[in-house]
Chain A
Amino acid sequence: MTKKWNVEVKVNGRVKRAEVEPRLLLVHLLRDEFNLTGTHIGCDTSQCGACTVMMDGKAVKSCTVLAVQADGAEIQTVEGLGTVDQLHPIQAGFWEKHGLQCGFCTPGIMMAVNGLLQDNLNPSEAEIRDALDGVICRCTGYQFIVKAVQQAAETIRNSQQQSQVVPAEGGSV
C-alpha cells in the first residue's frame, strides 16, 4: 500500500483536509473527497478545461495538478463563485447570454474566464476567443460564450467604477 499524505487546502474559503495517495489528482480530491462535483472532467490529456479551478488566484486545470501539490493552496471552484441568489457577474453573463447548453463544460469555462478577466477587464472579441483556447465546448459554438464574457466584463467594469465613485457601497466582485 502506498503511503498516504495529508493535505490541507482552503476550498471556497473553508479549510479542508484529506489523506490521499500521492498520485491523486486535484480534480478527484475536489469531486470525490470534498463532494464538490461542480468541477467536471472532460478528458484525460488536459485539453478540455472542464476541470478548471482557481488555485492561489490563478486558473489551473485541476486534472493536471496532484492533490499533494495543492497542499496549503487556496482553491476556488464554481461552487465558490456565486450563489443562485448572488450570482457572480460571470455566471450572470452566461445565464443572460445563453452561454451554456448542456452545462457540462460551463463551470470550467467560467473559471477560465475568471482568470482572463482578472488580467484583462476589457478584452476584445479576439482576446476572448484566444483566452478560450484552453477549453472545449461542444454545444454552443462559442458565440454566446463570447457574448457572455463581454457582458460579464462590462458588469465588472461598471461595478468597479461605481465602487470608485461611492466607495462605501463596495463591489461584491
Chain B
Amino acid sequence: MTKVVGKPLKRKEDPKLITGNGQFTDDIKLTGMLYMAVKRSQHAHARIKRISVDAALKLPGVVAVYTGKDVQDKIKPIRSIWLVPGCDLIAKDRVPLAVDKVNYTGEAVAVVIAESRYLASDALDLIDVVYEELPAVVHQEAAIEGSAPVIYNDVPGNVAFTWKAGEVPEEVFANAEVVVKQRFYEQRVAANPMETRGAVAQYNPGSGELTLWCTSQNPHIHRLQYSEALGISETKLRIIAPDVGGGFGAKIAVYTEEALAAFAAMDLKQPVKWIEDRQEHFLATSHARDQVITTELAGTKDGKILAIRTRNVASLGAYLSTMGAGVPTIDFGLMVTGAYTIPYAQAETIGVYTNTTPTDAYRGAGKPEASYQIERIVSLFAEKIGMDPVEVRRKNLVQKGSFPYTNPMGCNYDSGDYQKVLEQALEAAGYAGLRKEQEEARKNGRLLGIGISTYVELCGLGPSAVAGAIGFGGGLYENCTVRVHPSGKVTVLTGASPHGQGEGTTFAQVVAEKFGIPIEDVELFHGDTHMISMGWGTYGSRTTPVAGGALAIAADRVIEKAIKIAAHELEVSPEELKFEDGAFMVKGDPDKKRTFKEIAWSANNAWNLPAGVEPALEGQCFFDPPDFVYPFGAHICVVEVDPDTGVVDLKKYVSVDDVGRILNPLIVEGQVHGGLAQGIGQALWEQTVYSEKGQLLSGTFMDYAMPKAKFFPMIESSFVESPSPVNPLGAKGVGETGTTAAPSAVVNAVMDALKPYGVVDLEMPLTPEKVWKAIQKGRAVK
C-alpha cells in the first residue's frame, strides 16, 4: 500500500496561493457591483438623537443610505446560537443597525452604498449623527458594582448569567494543609486574521436566489442565521466561503454587516461588496478572552492537589455574540482541573455586559483561559510548598493506565501517556541542566526563568447530543462525501470549512492511501452551502477528528461498494477479495484483479452491476463522534529578563504534544508554531485596550502589538502519538494547542525569573514596563 498518511507532504493548496491565484472575498468582482461602507458610533454608550443622511445622499455616486430605522423591520437581530442552559441567561442580540442607542464604540449606525469604495467612504463623513452621551462601563468588575451604569433595563447589574458547575464540599478547603488563591486576568485580545471580514452579495430578482460570498469559518451556520435574519429560505440562500485568510475564531461569529450587504443587494438589485478595513476590524469583529478568574487550590504539603475552585467574571461585550456565552462557561468551566487527577472542582462564571465590542471564540476559546489559571496556580502551589513545579505535576498528572479518565466535571479524557510526554519535554529542554544554569545565572544577578505548562484541552467538537444538552443551537457532527469520478479521480466534499489548516492535503492523503491512488487524484471541495450537505464548519480543532472521521468512513463505504462490484466482475464472492495498493485481488490468486480505476469506470457506467447495487461510486458519512478529543502536551519555556529594561527575551521554547495520530507532520508542526506565536503573543505583547469612557485605544497595528518574526527563537517541537479511540483516524486536533499551552508556560517562566524580587503574579501581557516596575518594587522591598 502506498503510505502517504503520516508523510510531510507539500500542500496541494499552495500553488495557487503562492502564485497570487487565490480567490479571497475582496478578489471577487461582479458586473455592476456597488460598495458598502459602514458609519460607526464614536461613543461607547449614547442615545441617538438624530441622523441626517441628506448630504450623503446628494454626493454623486451614492446610491443609497440605510439607517437603523430603515432596516429594523427588514432584517431581524442576529441571534446568539449558544444559549447555555441553567444559568438564567438573558441574551441581547446584535441588531443590524443601532436605532435608538449605541452600546459600544464602533457599533454600526448607518451604511452607505455607492459606486466605488472611495465614494462610499467619502459619504460616511457626510452623515451627521447627533448623540446624547451616556455613562459607559468598560470593565466587567466595575459593571457588576451596584453603582455602575446599566446598559439594558431588563438586565439588572449588567449580569447576563451566572453559571455554575461542580461542587467542592466546604470542608475540603477548610481542612486543607495548603490553600493557594490567586486572581488572574486573561486580558482582552483580538484574533486579527490577516484578511479582515468581508462580503459580496448578489441577488437574482428572477429566481429570488441570494448568493453571499463571505469570510466564514462555517458557511452552514451563516446560512442558518442569515436565512432567519433576512427571511430567505435556505434553498434560496447560498453562502460561499471562498479562500479565507485565517479566522482563529473571529470568523465563526455571525455578524450584521454581511446581512446588510445582502439586504442592500436585494433592495437595489445590484451586487454589493463590503470589505472591512483594519480599523473597523478592531472595532467590529469580535474580541476575545477578557475574563477575570480567581482560582483557589486546596492541596497537601507533599504536593497532592485536592480541589480547584474558580470564579470567572467574563466580559461579553455589549451583545451576546454567536458563541459568546459558551466560551467562558462550558469551554472554560469543564476544564478547570487541567491534566490532573483532582477529586473536587467547582466553577462559577458570571457573564457581564459591558460597553465594549462583543467577545467570542478565539483560538482555543475558553480552554486557554482554563489552562492558564490551572497551570499558573499549580506553579504557585509548587512554589508555596517548596517543590519543583515539575515534581508537583508528576505527582498529579492523570496516570497512564487510567484512560479514559473522567474529570470532576464529567469530561472523559480519551487517551495518552502524560508522563512520557512530560519526560520527553524535560529531556528535550535539558531541564536539569537548565536549573543549574539558572542557579549560576542568579549568582551573577541574571534573571533566568524556566516555565512549564502541562496542558490538556477539550476539542474536536463534538457529539451532537452533548451540543444539544449544553444549549448549542445546532449539531456538531460533520459530513464528508467521497465522490469517485469515472476516471478514478476523486472529489471530497466536506461541511468543514478549512482556511489555512491544510485539509486539502491531509484529507487527500487519507483518501489516496485508502484507495491506493496518487494524492494528485484527490481534490477537496468545501465552503459552499448549495453543494454541500449540512455541516458545521471549522473551529474547535474539529476538522480532522470529526470531518476526518466522516471522511474515513465515507471512503470505507466506497471501498465496500467497489469490492462488491469487483467481486461481481471477477465472479468471486466479496469475501474472496482483498484490496491492496489500489487493486481488488482474489486472495491467493493476485493476478485475478481489478484496479480501483477500473471499478470507478464500471461503477459509473453501470453496464454490469451486481444485483441490488446502485450505479456510480460515491460514499457519504455524517459522523457524529461519540465524545470529544483531548490533546495533551508539555511545553517548556526559558526566558531571560533584563533587570534594567524589563524586556523579556525568549531564549528557548520546547513543545511536546500528543495530538493523536498525525496525518502530515509538516502541517501539524506549522499549526503548533502558529498557535504558539499567538499564545506567546498574548503572554507578552497583545492587548486590546479601552479608555475609561469606552474608546478603543488599540485600534491599529501601530497600537496592538502583533507578534513579529524577530520576537521568536526557533521553536523546538516534537510529538507523541496516542491515537484517540473516539474517531476512525485517531486524531485529536492540533490547532489550539499553542494558544492553550503558551501563555502559562511563558508567564510561569517570567515569574520564575523574577523570583529573586518576590514577584508572584503579573497580568498579561508582560510588557517591559510592567516587568520593570515589578523589579523596581521588588528592589525597594529588598
The answer on direct contact between A and B (beta carbons under 8 Å) is yes
- Residues of A at the B interface (CB closer than 8 Å) are 1, 21, 23-24, 28, 31-32, 35-45, 47-48, 50, 77-79, 81-84, 87, 91, 94-96, 98, 100-107, 110, 125-126, 128-130, 132-133, 135-146
List residues 698-713 of chain B with CB under 8 A from any CB of chain A: 700-702, 706-710, 712
> CB-CB < 8 A to A47: which residues of B?
700-702, 706
Q: Within the complex, what minimum Cβ distance (angstroms) separates A38 from chain B?
A: 2
User: Is the Cβ of A138 less than 8 Å from the Cβ of B193?
Assistant: yes
Q: Within the complex, what minimum Cβ distance (angstroms) separates B173 from chain A?
A: 40
With A98-B10, A132-B709, A137-B194 already in contact, the answer to whether A91 and B19 are too (CB < 8 A) is: yes
* Residue B607 at the chain A interface, CB threshold 8 Å: no
* Residue B678 at the chain A interface, CB threshold 8 Å: yes
* Residue B561 at the chain A interface, CB threshold 8 Å: no
- Interface pairs A-B: 9 shortest CB-CB: A38-B20, A104-B245, A103-B17, A102-B500, A141-B673, A141-B677, A47-B701, A101-B500, A78-B20
> CB-CB < 8 A to A146: which residues of B?
709, 714
Chain A binder among B23-31, B127-135, B472-480:
B23-31
* Residue B90 at the chain A interface, CB threshold 8 Å: no
Which of B14, B193, B666 has the most CB atoms of chain A within a 10 A radius of its CB? Answer: B14
With A50-B194, A139-B674 already in contact, the answer to whether A98 and B709 are too (CB < 8 A) is: no
User: Is the Cβ of A138 less than 8 Å from the Cβ of B21?
Assistant: no
Which of B248, B277, B676, B710 has the most CB atoms of chain A within a 10 A radius of its CB? Answer: B710
Q: Within the complex, what minimum Cβ distance (angstroms) separates A33 from chain B?
A: 11
Q: Can you list 5 residue pairs at the A/B interface with Cβ under 8 Å?
A: A42-B196, A47-B701, A101-B670, A102-B244, A133-B709
User: Is the Cβ of B14 less than 8 Å from the Cβ of A100?
Assistant: yes
User: Is the Cβ of B700 less than 8 Å from the Cβ of A45?
Assistant: yes
User: Is the Cβ of B700 less than 8 Å from the Cβ of A95?
Assistant: no
Q: Chain A binding site: helix, strand, loop or mixed by DSSP?
A: loop
Cross-interface CB contact of B14 among A94, A136, A137, cutoff 8 Å: A94
The total of chain B residues at the interface (CB under 8 A) is 60
Cross-interface CB contact of A96 among B10, B17, B22, cutoff 8 Å: B10
Looking across the interface, which residue of chain A has its beta carbon closest to that of B667? A98
With A47-B700, A77-B20, A98-B11 already in contact, the answer to whether A104 and B195 are too (CB < 8 A) is: yes
List residues 500-552 of chain B with CB under 8 A from any CB of chain A: 500-502
The CA-CA distance from A95 to B27 in the complex, in Å, is 22
> CB-CB < 8 A to A143: which residues of B?
673, 712, 714-715
Looking across the interface, which residue of chain A has its beta carbon closest to that of B245? A104
With A98-B10, A129-B709 already in contact, the answer to whether A78 and B246 are too (CB < 8 A) is: no
User: Is the Cβ of B118 less than 8 Å from the Cβ of A23?
Assistant: yes
> CB-CB < 8 A to A35: which residues of B?
29
- Residues of B at the A interface (CB closer than 8 Å) are 10-11, 13-24, 26-27, 29, 60, 117-118, 192-196, 243-246, 248, 277-279, 499-502, 666-667, 669-670, 672-678, 700-702, 706-710, 712, 714-715, 738
With A102-B193, A103-B14 already in contact, the answer to whether A142 and B667 are too (CB < 8 A) is: no
Cross-interface CB contact of A125 among B21, B29, B672, B714, cutoff 8 Å: B714
The CA-CA distance from A101 to B674 in the complex, in Å, is 9
> CB-CB < 8 A to B666: which residues of A?
98
Looking across the interface, which residue of chain A has its beta carbon closest to that of B710? A129
Q: Within the complex, what minimum Cβ distance (angstroms) separates B542 from chain A?
A: 17
Which of B15, B194, B670 has the most CB atoms of chain A within a 10 A radius of its CB? Answer: B194
> CB-CB < 8 A to A137: which residues of B?
194, 709
User: Is the Cβ of A103 less than 8 Å from the Cβ of B243?
Assistant: yes
Looking across the interface, which residue of chain A has its beta carbon closest to that of B677? A141
With A47-B701, A133-B708, A142-B677 already in contact, the answer to whether A102 and B19 are too (CB < 8 A) is: no
User: Is the Cβ of B700 less than 8 Å from the Cβ of A104?
Assistant: no
User: Is the Cβ of A95 less than 8 Å from the Cβ of B500?
Assistant: no
Q: Within the complex, what minimum Cβ distance (angstroms) separates B17 from chain A?
A: 3
Q: Within the complex, what minimum Cβ distance (angstroms) separates B284 from chain A?
A: 14
The CA-CA distance from A65 to B707 in the complex, in Å, is 25
Q: Within the complex, what minimum Cβ distance (angstroms) separates A143 from chain B?
A: 5
The CA-CA distance from A23 to B122 in the complex, in Å, is 12
User: Is the Cβ of A101 less than 8 Å from the Cβ of B243?
Assistant: no
User: Is the Cβ of A36 less than 8 Å from the Cβ of B709?
Assistant: no
> CB-CB < 8 A to B676: which residues of A?
141
> CB-CB < 8 A to B246: which residues of A?
101-102, 104, 138-139
The CA-CA distance from A106 to B672 in the complex, in Å, is 19
With A37-B26, A101-B246, A103-B14 already in contact, the answer to whether A45 and B701 are too (CB < 8 A) is: yes
> CB-CB < 8 A to B15: which residues of A?
84, 87, 95
Q: Within the complex, what minimum Cβ distance (angstroms) separates A141 from chain B?
A: 3
With A45-B702, A83-B19, A84-B15 already in contact, the answer to whether A139 and B500 are too (CB < 8 A) is: yes
Other contacts beyond A129-B710, A141-B674: 4, CB < 8 A: A98-B670, A101-B501, A102-B246, A140-B673
The CA-CA distance from A164 to B108 in the complex, in Å, is 61
With A41-B26, A91-B18 already in contact, the answer to whether A103 and B500 are too (CB < 8 A) is: yes
> CB-CB < 8 A to B11: which residues of A?
95, 98
User: Is the Cβ of B709 less than 8 Å from the Cβ of A128?
Assistant: yes
Q: Within the complex, what minimum Cβ distance (angstroms) separates A99 from chain B?
A: 9
The CA-CA distance from A141 to B709 in the complex, in Å, is 7
Cross-interface CB contact of A105 among B60, B194, B667, cutoff 8 Å: B194
Looking across the interface, which residue of chain B has its beta carbon closest to that of A83? B19
Q: Within the complex, what minimum Cβ distance (angstroms) separates B670 from chain A?
A: 5
> CB-CB < 8 A to A98: which residues of B?
10-11, 666-667, 669-670
Which of A98, A105, A144 has the most CB atoms of chain B within a 10 A radius of its CB? Answer: A98
User: Is the Cβ of B20 less than 8 Å from the Cβ of A102?
Assistant: no
Q: Within the complex, what minimum Cβ distance (angstroms) separates A156 from chain B?
A: 16
Looking across the interface, which residue of chain B has its beta carbon closest to that of A23? B118
The CA-CA distance from A141 to B132 in the complex, in Å, is 45
> CB-CB < 8 A to B712: which residues of A?
129, 141-143
Cross-interface CB contact of A1 among B24, B60, B192, cutoff 8 Å: B60
